Amino acid sequence: MAGIGSPQSQAGIINFYDAQTNGPKLNPKLVVVVVVAFAIVVIVANHFLVG
């Protein structure tokens, strides 16, 4: 019986997540800046609209 942590299953997971895709490459810093900016816009809009 193969366990959950068997080497074969772990190798398959590693290969799955290491596979190269043709999707857009995003800089992690850009993602953080966009999320923080969006949160600030939502907070400011909430402040003025509910106010």
Each residue's pLDDT tens digit, 10-38: 555 566 666 677 888 889 999 999 999 99
Q: Please tell me the pTM assigned to this model.
A: 0.55
pLDDT confidence of residue 15? 60
Q: Is residue 48 part of a domain?
A: yes
Whether the pLDDT of residue 44 is over 70: the answer is yes
Up-side HSE of residue 17: CA atoms within 13 Å toward CB?
5
Domain that holds residue 41: 26-51
pLDDT confidence of residue 26? 87
Residue with tokens 């799955």: 16
Q: Is residue 19 part of a domain?
A: no
Nearest to 7 by CA among 38, 15, 36: 15
Residue type, 37: A
Say how far apart CA 18 and CA 10 lie, in whole Å: 12
pLDDT confidence of residue 38? 98
Q: Is residue 1 part of a domain?
A: no
Q: Is residue 21 part of a domain?
A: no
* Cα dihedral 12, 14, 20, 26 sign: positive
How many structural domains comprise the chain? 1
